[in-house]
Amino acid sequence: MTRPKTMSSNVTWFEMPEQEEKIISPGDTIRSLLNDKSLKWTTAVFAEHMGITTADAFDLLEGNLPLTDEIAQKLDDCLNVPAAFWLAEEKVYRDKLEARRAAFRG
């Protein structure tokens, strides 16, 4: 809830709650690349190019499927972005998720 604060006798402002930083998943980056490259692939077409199931592709894009060495290599082959980049993105993503969970647990 926002609460008014008075800065002077005639000015009132509202203290806004801090918004949580959006945690960018490797899937968000993949979606951006697919759009930037004008591939306009559906999840099914992306899955086919990756050699994974459509369900796994969906989970990868949603950030629910951990990005393994094998998937990183497939992304390298499919999108021409080094596997090391994807593995680093995955580590940052998982570390941020864990930090948020830890902060929530208090």
pLDDT of 95 strictly over 90: yes
Question: What is this structure's pTM?
Answer: 0.76
How far is residue 42's CA from residue 40's CA, in Å, rounded to a whole number? 7
Contact 66, 94 (CB under 8 A): yes
The end-to-end CA distance of the chain, in Å, is: 21
Question: If you count them, how many residues does the chain have?
Answer: 106
Determine the residue type at 33: L
pLDDT of 100 strictly over 80: yes
Determine the residue type at 100: R
Q: Find the mean pLDDT for residues 43-72.
A: 96
What is the residue-averaged pLDDT of the chain? 85
Q: Looking at residue 10, what is its pLDDT?
A: 52
Q: Looking at residue 40, what is its pLDDT?
A: 80
Residue 2 banded pLDDT, cuts 50, 70, 90 = very low
Q: Looking at residue 19, what is its pLDDT?
A: 64
